[in-house]
Amino acid sequence: MLKAIRRFFGEKPSSQVARRRMQVVLMHDRMDLAPDVMESLKNDILGVLSRYMEIDQQSIRVDLEQGKDYTALVSNVHIKRVYRQAHSS
């Protein structure tokens, strides 16, 4: 009964809370695992971007941002020049 009242006031079942939390935690754990993966991810992003624009190779930063219920990949790149036409790789 108490539970029914709590649910009425918008409290989520604990299993849902657990699942949501685990989604975030596991993603973070998996990303955390390998610095070399981050490095190759960075290089791949660089590769794709340079087909469209000239970028400052040194300036690229790739970070994982941990929010309350999400994990985001945030990348900052300095653009020097944008090509008129995409260069094929």
Partner 1 sequence: MAGKTIVVTSGKGGVGKTTTVANIGTMLAKKKYNVCMIDADIGLRNLDVVMGLENRIVYNLVDIIEGNCRRPQAMIRDRKFSNLCMIPAAQTREKNAVKPDQMKTLCEELAEEFDYVFIDCPAGIEQGFKNAVAGAQMAIVVTTPEVSAIRDADRVIGLLEAGMLKDIHLIINRLNHRMVKKGDMMSTADILSLLAVPLLGVVPESEEVVISTNRGVPLVHQRGSRAGRAFTQIAARLNGEDVPFDEEKGDGFLAKVARFIRS
Stretch that binds partner 1, among 11-19, 55-63, 69-77, 80-88 (CB under 8 A): 11-19
Dihedral angle over CA of 46, 50, 54, 57, nearest 10: 20
Work out which of 15, 76, 85, 89 binds partner 1, going by CB under 8 A: 15
Stretch that binds partner 1, among 7-15, 44-52, 59-67, 68-76 (CB under 8 A): 7-15
**Are residues 63 and 74 in contact, defined by beta-carbon separation less than 8 angstroms?**
yes
CA distance 4 to 10: 10
Binding mask 31-50 toward partner 1 (x if CB under 8 A, else -) reads --x-----------------
35: which 2 tokens? 């610095």
